[in-house]
């Protein structure tokens, strides 16, 4: 029994000292950090879409830009970035879709209702909306942002140009 314990201990020690496992752990940590920003990003994008005349739009833009810059700085291994498709899945697909065909209507409607209650004194800012159209426009915007995140060339001026998609 002692021999097996020694072998297991040496194997565990080897696993802990293997860079591959460290890189996988680092990668998983960075994935979690990207995913932790998803709700904030999408809530702000929905507000930006629904309230085109709000005086808070510049603040929302700044918040979104800050989150995208935080994501931009998240690299793993030897300065590796995630693929555009990975960013897109985490930031858009997993938030808005149950599967490739089915929008999570209840989640999006719940978010919209929370926003309406939160901003109830400024109802005049809200536009009539079609959830499908909103999701398509946000998807196009995030697809562009994810492209620049993968390249490592995201900037606020790119975001300023791309956010026009939401109009």
pLDDT tens per residue across span 122-167? 666 788 889 999 999 999 999 999 999 999 999 999 999 999 999 8
In this structure, is residue 23 part of a structural domain?
A: no
Is residue 16, in this structure, part of any structural domain at all? Answer: no
Backbone angles phi, psi at 76, to 5 degrees: -135, 165
Q: Going by C-beta distance under 8 Å and a sequence separation of 6 or more, which residues neighbour residue 163?
A: 48, 61, 64, 141
Residue 15 within any structural domain of the chain: no
Domain, as residue range, for 102: 30-166
Contacts of 53 (CB under 8 A, 6+ apart): 124, 125
Show the beta-strand stretches assigned E in 92-139: none
Q: What is the pLDDT of residues 59-106, one digit of tens each?
A: 999 999 999 999 999 998 777 899 999 999 999 999 999 876 788 888
pTM attached to this predicted model: 0.82
Domain count, the chain: 1
pLDDT, tens digit (0-9, with 9 covering 90-100), for 5-30? 777 777 666 666 655 555 567 888 99
Residue 17 lies in a domain: no
76 in any annotated domain:
yes
- Classify residue 8: in a domain, yes or no: no
Query: In this structure, what token pair is assigned to residue 135?
Result: 């999701």
- Cα separation of 165 and 34, whole Å? 23
Residue 143 maps to a domain: yes
Answer yes or no: is 96 within a domain.
Answer: yes
94 CB-near residues (< 8 Å, 6+ apart): 38
Residue 18 confidence (pLDDT): 56
């Amino acid at each position: 029994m002692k021999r097996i314990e020694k072998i297991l201990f040496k194997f565990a020690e080897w696993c802990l000292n293997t860079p591959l496992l460290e890189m996988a752990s680092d990668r998983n940590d960075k994935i979690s950090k990207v995913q932790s920003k998803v709700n904030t990003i999408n809530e702000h994008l929905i507000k930006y879409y629904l309230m085109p005349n709000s005086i808070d739009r510049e603040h929302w833009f700044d918040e979104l830009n800050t989150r995208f810059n935080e994501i931009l700085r998240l690299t793993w291994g030897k300065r590796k970035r995630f693929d555009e498709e990975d960013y897109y899945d985490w930031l858009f697909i997993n938030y808005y879709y149950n599967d490739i065909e089915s929008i999570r209507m209840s989640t999006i409607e719940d978010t919209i209702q929370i926003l309406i209650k939160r901003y109830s004194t400024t109802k005049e800012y809200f536009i009539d909306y079609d959830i499908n159209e909103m999701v398509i426009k946000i998807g196009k915007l995030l697809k562009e942002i994810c492209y620049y995140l993968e390249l490592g060339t995201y900037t606020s001026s790119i975001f300023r140009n791309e956010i026009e998609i939401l109009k």
